[in-house]
Amino acid sequence: MRERDAGGVMTDLTNTVPPILRWAGSKRQILEALSSFWKPSFKRYVEPFAGSAALFFRTKPARALLSDLNYELIDTYEVIRNRPDDVHSAVCKIERSEEQYYRIRAQQPKRLGELGRAVRFVYLNRYCFNGIYRTNSDGHFNVPFAHNKPGSIPPIEDFRRCAVLLQNATLRCGDFGGVLSEVRQGDFVYLDPPYVVNSRRVFRQYGQREFSIRDVERLAAHLIRLDRVGASFVVSYADCSEARKLLSRWQMRRIKVRRNVAGFAAARRSAFELLVTNIT
């Protein structure tokens, strides 16, 4: 399937590019549903909670703004964009073992060069437990090694294809509010924030600060402005009373997903998420 974007460039929506990184809460399993909202006629793709940016790599927009509060993530994307072969080569040279994992994890990123930081990030991401990014109170990555089913390093072709797509993206580290305040008419915004669900335990701390109900309220206020200026948006969120209350003015679609953050396979279960949008 090929469609023409706003600049007249033909876009192939069938030849998708897999993300380089694993990410807890990634929306890979519902990408088909999410990508149905995307139209190449949108002026720009905006994602303020980038994570693995699975939808970005699926839709392959000609112009994008990717942002995240995680500076190590954004720095890694910048290096992959400019030096995909170097990152891939260096990561593949490091043995996949528990001993090496904890040696790499103990490194201080600020003492490494930009390539070293990106290599460290990719290595830990691919071999850590469940692709979780979590830090302690000092800001140090503290996720354990994945003993049962560690990941693997994607092939060099995937790094190169991701690098090509990242050439179309402005990369930024910062709070989602700053990014959303810049959204304009004709933009498409995809938001996949951490979940705040009081009725059950949901992993929502990816850094030193938890995502809170006040953040969800801020997000809901931004959605009103996005709709007012003529931007289109889709939010994926846990089906819960908090989301239904704060996002009730928009269209909602309930979709079944499989939770993969639980520590044991027996504890993993199906759940429902909401796709909330102003796209008619």
pLDDT band at 268 (very low <50, low <70, confident <90, very high): low
CATH class of 2-71+157-277: alpha beta
Given a cut of 90, whether residue 41 has pLDDT beyond it is: yes
Rounded to whole angstroms, the Cα distance separating 237 from 276 reads 8
With bands split at pLDDT 50, 70 and 90, how would you rate the model's confidence at 258?
confident
**Sign of the Cα pseudo-torsion (249, 254, 255, 257, in order):** positive
pLDDT at 204 over 70: no
- This prediction's pTM: 0.87
- Listed residue (47, 44, 63, 83) closest to 169, CA to CA: 63
Q: Predicted confidence band at 2 (pLDDT cuts at 50, 70, 90)?
A: very low
Q: Any idea which of 78-82, 104-108, 118-122, 196-200 has the lowest mean pLDDT?
A: 196-200
Above 80 in pLDDT, residue 203? no
Least confident residue range of 54-58, 199-203, 275-279: 199-203
How far apart are the C-alpha atoms of 192 and 103, rounded to whole Å? 32
Report angle CA 51, 135, 129 to the nearest 5 degrees.
70
Note the pLDDT tens digit of each residue in 226-244.
999 999 999 999 999 888 9
| Region for 139 from its dihedrals, namely left if φ exceeds 0, alpha if ψ lies in -120 to 50, beta otherwise | left
Which regions of the chain carry the CATH code 3.40.50.150?
2-71+157-277
Residue 22's pLDDT band (cuts 50, 70, 90):
very high
Residue 83 pLDDT exceeds 60: yes
By residue count, the chain amounts to 280
In the prediction, which pLDDT does 202 show? 46
pLDDT at 148 over 60: yes
pLDDT band at 209 (very low <50, low <70, confident <90, very high): low
pLDDT digits (tens, 9 = 90+) for 149-177: 767 999 999 999 999 999 999 999 999 99
**What is the average pLDDT across 28-57?**
95
Residue 256 pLDDT > 50: yes
Query: What gap in Å lies between CA 198 and CA 230, rounded to an integer?
Result: 33
Instruction: Look at domain 76-153 and name its CATH class.
Output: mainly alpha
Cα separation, 146 vs 159, whole angstroms = 22
| Torsion 201-204-208-214 (CA) sign | negative
